[in-house]
Copies of this chain bind each other. A is one copy, B any other.
């Protein structure tokens, strides 16, 4: 692309560095910014700069936070003895959006994946073991993606927690609501039969 303005060109280049945004999309976004008020664009830029500079990670659960401790950890209305272990902030936001979970989180910052060079030392596992040892934790709920990396991570952490007397669970796997049995993969279908639930609890949960 050929630009007659260097200001325009550098703005397009900045946008096209973001993931999933090519040159054409970047140009569309920049032309939109050009139509916006100068004050609105200033607000946009300053919000991003301020977010990156001032955002913190909770010292307890490694979730994003505006202070040293995140709003979930410092909320006394939530069950502090319940920890949901997730891979990243993304899962925290997804679970929070269900408005069904009332415990705390622990963000690992990834999963054990030797192929990608990620070992247990690069994850926030030490902090999780510390929390279980020092706090009165009753249950750990693993909400990791159902693949080898996730399963390895669960296995590793479970061994680390051996003897600490904490209940360890994982979120239910099975046929999704609205999913057709016919199109479900064999493993999911097989496991959902093995882990069948009494009808009363099913009806109650609906």
Q: Which residues of A contact B (CB under 8 A)?
A: 1-8, 10-11, 14, 17-21, 25, 27-34, 36, 38, 41-55, 63-66, 70-72, 88-90, 92-93, 96-97, 99
Task: Check if A20 sits within 8 Å of B25, measured CB to CB.
Answer: yes
Contacts of A4 in B (CB 8 A): 63-65, 70-72, 92, 96
Task: Check if A29 sits within 8 Å of B18, measured CB to CB.
Answer: yes
Q: Give A13's nearest chain B residue, CB to CB.
A: B47
Option from B21, B45, B54, B71 in Cβ contact (under 8 Å) with A48 = B45
A5 to chain B, nearest CB (A): 4
CA distance A4 to B191 in the complex (A): 34
Task: Check if A5 sits within 8 Å of B52, measured CB to CB.
Answer: no
Q: Give A32's nearest chain B residue, CB to CB.
A: B19
A54 to chain B, nearest CB (A): 6
